[in-house]
Copies of this chain bind each other. A is one copy, B any other.
Amino acid sequence: METSEAVDDYLKAILELGGAEDSRVTTNALAERLGVRTPSVTGMLQKLASQHPALVRYERYRGVRLTANGKRRAWELVRHHRLIELFLHDVLKYSWDEVHEEAERLEHFISERFEDRVAAILGDPEVDPHGHAIPPKHEAGPYRAEVPLVAWPLHKPAVISSVSDRNAVALRELERLGLMPGVALTVEQSTPAAFAVRVQARSSPVRLGNDLAGYIQVAATDRRP
């Protein structure tokens, strides 16, 4: 019952494309995310379903979903990924935009021991450098009420909760603009193509295209006393 590198990639992708909420994930979406053609996805899903029925539920023409086991395994990989990202950033002094690619490669090959030691060194951290929650060992990621910035109402105060780690160029740009997790902002203006957000402690509003804005997730400002 080993699980190969490729299988791992599929499980993680399914999780990140909606499997976390038990929704069906389509062949197309997977192909897109994994940078692979759709027939390859079909083939892999069939194999996955027949060889690891405990991990996924697959129905012809209707997509896949993860079983409880499948979710556990996928969250484990996400934990690996995010721990490695934080480790690269904090210990090996990688910059924000450099960590994803390396983590993506390494996450498949580290042992339990490596995971544990890294977590210990980092003090059992809860958030990675992009603001994503690091799920505790053996647990699913916590639910967090994130909303894409592009769907946030005008003028309502928000905090950037996370940014996607998948595009290094975009990350560099976001950093330059001061748009990082924890930063408070309000949306001043939004057109189909662009955005103006007012960032706390910045005199003039920041303008950014929809493409960039798409990488940002926000949440309501937390005002517990």
Seen from chain A, the residues whose Cβ lies within 8 Å of a Cβ on chain B are 88, 91-94, 98, 102, 105-106, 109-111, 113-114, 117-118, 121
User: Number of copies of this chain in the oligomer?
Assistant: 2
A28 to chain B, nearest CB (A): 29
How far apart sit A88 and B113, CA to CA, in the bound complex (Å)? 10
Contact, CB under 8 Å: B105 / A92 = no
How far apart sit A1 and B94, CA to CA, in the bound complex (Å)? 27
**CB-defined contacts of A111 to chain B, threshold 8 Å:** 102, 105
**CB-defined contacts of A105 to chain B, threshold 8 Å:** 109, 111
A171 to chain B, nearest CB (A): 16
A98: nearest chain-B partner, CB-CB? B113
A93: nearest chain-B partner, CB-CB? B117
Contact, CB under 8 Å: B109 / A92 = no
How far apart sit A111 and B109, CA to CA, in the bound complex (Å)? 14
**CB-defined contacts of A93 to chain B, threshold 8 Å:** 117
Contact, CB under 8 Å: A92 / B117 = yes
**CB-defined contacts of A109 to chain B, threshold 8 Å:** 105-106, 109
How far apart sit A144 and B94, CA to CA, in the bound complex (Å)? 35
A102 to chain B, nearest CB (A): 6
**CB-defined contacts of A118 to chain B, threshold 8 Å:** 92
10 A-B contacts (beta carbon < 8 Å): A88-B114, A92-B114, A93-B117, A98-B113, A102-B110, A102-B113, A102-B114, A105-B109, A106-B106, A106-B110
